[in-house]
Amino acid sequence: MRDLNYQLKTLCRSNRDGSYATQAQRQRMLDLISNQLHELGFRAMSAQSLKPKHVEALIKHWQDANLAVATIKNRMTALRWWAEKVNRQNVIARTNDHYGIPDRQFVSNVSKARVVSAEALADIKDAHVRMSLELQQAFGLRREEAIKFVPSYADRGDQLTLKDSWTKGGKAREIPIRTDAQREVLNRAHQLAGRGSLIPPNRNYVQQLRVYEGHTSRAGLSKLHGLRHAYAQQRYQELTGLPCPAAGGPVSTQLAPGQKQTDRAARLTISRELGHEREAVTAIYLGR
């Protein structure tokens, strides 16, 4: 292992900022960044030697590779974290605009919904991973929430209660149990987990996350955040009687005044169920 890779790994282990998933993702990104710096000709670097020329070379490399704006911005977040931890904040510009990185386009009327078929689920050989995927699909859970899920705690009969320690930003929330299909998934989750979580007793969260990533990758499953998009779009149709704009429904300018009130109420409900606080964020899932 090169010095920079080792030092960044040590830096990550010494600074446990964010959820386990965030920590694991950050460490993987910084390891990749270290490898890319080496490939770009920056040899014998240490964690303390980060300079503007390194940042600019990385950004040019990513832009030349036509990486998605969201991917580049996530890597910039990791770079800024690294710079902060070694007191080198000034080597990175305060805004991404400085580097010509455009804003993400949050509002899109193109659906990103995804469904995992029964055949695809059958290709997942780990029962705990398979159950986490089913919960993501049935309730719009984030991956971390579905891995840490404890059925005996969460199942309150007519709703799920998610612990703050499972959720992004530490926001506990409730999700209604509305359908027989959801109840059937929960019953099987109880049978599998008993009084525990969907992390087997011989593993911790990070280990189970790696198992999840391995099994889903081998099954050819990707962009599984799209399961939340599918949940949001299904809920919108239930609450309004219309498909959302991203699924081919009317856009906001085509709605009558009464429909606009229904649209806003539905979006607020869906935002809460997904673990957000703002109505505006639903445009990512539903379009506008």
The number of distinct structural domains making up the chain is: 3
Q: Which residue matches tokens 């800024």?
A: 80
My answer on whether 95 and 129 are in the same domain is no
pTM of the model: 0.71
Within 13 Å, how many C-alpha atoms sit on residue 271's CB side?
Answer: 15
- Would 135 be classed as within a structural domain? yes
Per DSSP, what are the bridge partners of residue 174? 161
Q: How many CB atoms lie within 10 A of CB 196?
A: 12
Round to whole Å and give the CA distance between 135 and 154. 12
My answer on whether 255 and 179 are in the same domain is no
Give pLDDT, residue 16: 87
Give pLDDT, residue 66: 84
Q: Which residues contact 164 (CB under 8 A, 6 or more apart)?
A: 170, 171, 172
Within 13 Å, how many C-alpha atoms sit on residue 97's CB side?
Answer: 3
Give pLDDT, residue 99: 87
Round to whole Å and give the CA distance between 143 and 30. 21
- Would 24 be classed as within a structural domain? yes
Round to whole Å and give the CA distance between 189 and 134. 9
- Would 115 be classed as within a structural domain? no
Q: How many CB atoms lie within 10 A of CB 42?
A: 18
Q: What is the pLDDT of residues 177-220, one digit of tens each?
A: 999 999 999 999 999 999 999 999 999 999 999 999 999 999 99
> Of 99, 133, 155, which marks where a domain is finished?
99
Instruction: Mark out the alpha helices in 51-104 (DSSP H runs).
Output: 52-64, 69-85
Burial 243-265 (b: 16+ CB within 10 A, else e): bbbbbebeeeeebeeeeeeebee
Domain that holds residue 243: 227-286
- Would 73 be classed as within a structural domain? yes
Q: Which residue matches tokens 């890779």?
A: 5
Round to whole Å and give the CA distance between 53 and 58. 9
My answer on whether 128 and 206 are in the same domain is yes
Selected residue with higher pLDDT from 116 and 70: 116
pLDDT category at 21 given cuts 50, 70, 90 is confident
Q: What is the pLDDT of residues 67-115, one digit of tens each?
A: 888 899 999 999 999 999 999 999 999 888 888 887 665 566 789 999 9
Structure tokens at 136: 């993501």
My answer on whether 58 and 136 are in the same domain is no
Alpha carbon separation from 203 to 116, 166, 197, 210, 230 (Å, rounded): 25, 16, 11, 10, 30
Q: Is the dihedral of CA 94, 95, 97, 100 positive or negative?
A: positive
My answer on whether 198 and 240 are in the same domain is no
> Of 193, 219, 245, which marks where a domain is finished?
219
> Of 165, 197, 219, which marks where a domain is finished?
219
- Would 119 be classed as within a structural domain? no
My answer on whether 94 and 11 are in the same domain is yes
Q: Which amino acid is at 13?
A: R
- Would 117 be classed as within a structural domain? no
